[in-house]
Amino acid sequence: MVNKISHIGIAVHSIDEAMKFYQKLGLELEATEIVESQKVKVAFLPVGEVRIELLEATSEHSTIAKFIAKKGEGIHHIAFSTDNIRDRLKEIEEKGIRLIDKLPRLGAHGANIGFLHPKFTHGVLVELCEENDN
Ligand code: ZN
């Protein structure tokens, strides 16, 4: 159903500030992107097949701003790669897991994404991600 970890989403106050740390680990910035629908700026840092996805709020109404206000900076979500995300979300719901996104929506990198409800995933916000390989 899921075949690998796509990325780990980390909420930060400032991508520029956080990059100072990640550069010390030897990681490089691949790209940044604004995702208007989620009011976030996203930065991707490849690590092998996985990416670190830094998330910076572009508005106080962003879920990332609310997350940081409540919990501080830190791991926000884990994203698993999958194919046919529309069918996968439906199957997961049929298995009794509540979804935040019943239908996939557009995320960064042109990926189709859907979040599962953390009450049903032992406290981890899980994203399914159907990557667009272009
Ligand atoms: Zn993500």
Q: Where are the domains of the chain?
A: 4-130
Confidence (pLDDT) at 78: 97
pLDDT of residue 15: 98
CA of 8 to the centre of ligand 1 (A): 7
Number of H helices, E strands in the chain: 3, 8
β-pair type (74-82, 126-130):
parallel
- The reply to whether CATH 3.10.180.10 applies to domain 4-130 is yes
pLDDT in tens, 91-110: 999 999 999 999 999 988 88
pLDDT at 1: 86
Q: pTM (2 decimals)?
A: 0.92
* Distance in Å, CA 79 to ligand 1 centroid: 6
- pLDDT recorded at residue 132: 80
What is the number of residues in the chain?
Answer: 134
Which parts of the chain have pLDDT scores under 70?
A: 133-134
Q: Ligand 1 is a single-atom ion; what residues have CB below 5 A from it? A: 9, 79, 127
